[in-house]
Amino acid sequence: MLHRAIARILDAQGAWADPLGKLFVAIFGALYKPVPILKDFLNGVWLGHPLHPAITDVPIGAFVVALVLDIMGARPAATAAIGVGVLFMIVAALVGYADYIDLEGKPRRFGTVHSSLMLLAAVLYLVSFGLRIGCCGSGGSDAEVWISVVGFVIVIGSAYVGGELVYNMGSQVDRHAWRGGGTKWTAVEVGELPENTPVKAKAAAQTLVLVRQGKDIHALHDICAHQGCNLSDGGKVVGDTIECPCHGSRYRLRDGLVVRGPAVFDQPHYDVRGTAGKMEVRRTDTLSTA
């Protein structure tokens, strides 16, 4: 019921999020995109896993601890927990925007609502923290506690929207997580293979992209692991990699290893035998190439 309610609200009344989303993309795109190494780091390419969800557990956990400590009357300890939570909340936001700027359409709208709610919660927690340490007047009332409680409720609601973005819309998930490897060689249906030109091919139920470099023919799955774009439809060969036409992720042709984000998962790679006239492919064992 909550899922349906949120979806209806965002579909019917969520247009306010679109111009705000464009503003966020413009700001953080200008910060991150000119420095690919920074964006790759924030995306989690080096980790092989999105970095944002790995960090968000810290502030949420800190806020849960703060709530429990407030209930127990341990106000100074709760203040320290909120300080830690706010600090890592800011870090999580800066990391999350690196993923956010590659979203489009409905996922971007959900991402905008998620980030806006988190920003509102951060402001409330900062106000509560300021009251607690006495920088904004009285620190002995219960106002700072109730402000943090409201912030906690908003954090949980925002986290739910973020979960919808990942689990219901597939943002930052591996598009090939359930694709079987297989051990059999499969015939490939393909025409001419110009050198250094991505060409779409069929191998039974799988759609591949083939690239010929001299006598070597490389085969990867055609669907980009990042957000499902087709590598053969506008993708380009850059050195020993193929670049996705949508968001610029690059995968090494010889083994599918991701070498530039925003993708964080490797691309399925296929061994090739035969020639351009008659070829067969077989999914590479990822354990043997890791």
Question: Where residue 163 sits, what CATH number does that domain have?
Answer: 1.20.120
Residues 145 and 10 both lie in one domain? yes
Residues 62 and 144 both lie in one domain? yes
Going by pLDDT thresholds of 50, 70 and 90, the confidence category of residue 287 is very low
Tally of domains within the chain: 2
Q: Three-state DSSP class for 120?
A: helix
Average pLDDT over residues 149-177: 91
Residues 226 and 138 both lie in one domain? no
Q: Which of 133, 168, 203 is the last residue of a domain?
A: 168
Q: What is the pLDDT of residues 44-72, one digit of tens each?
A: 999 999 999 999 999 999 999 999 999 99
Residues 50 and 151 both lie in one domain? yes
Closest C-alpha to 41, from 219, 285, 260, 280: 260
The DSSP code for 165 is I
Are 62 and 82 in contact by the 8 Å Cβ rule? The answer is: yes
Closest C-alpha to 147, from 56, 73, 63, 58: 63
Domain that holds residue 268: 186-289
d(CA 88, CA 283): 41
Average pLDDT over residues 145-165: 93
Asked whether residue 175 is assigned to any structural domain, the reply reads no
Residues 132 and 197 both lie in one domain? no
Going by pLDDT thresholds of 50, 70 and 90, the confidence category of residue 289 is very low
Give me the CATH number covering residue 210.
2.102.10.10
How high does pLDDT run on average in the chain?
89
Closest C-alpha to 93, from 133, 127, 45, 60: 60
Are 185 and 280 in contact by the 8 Å Cβ rule? The answer is: yes
Residues 230 and 93 both lie in one domain? no
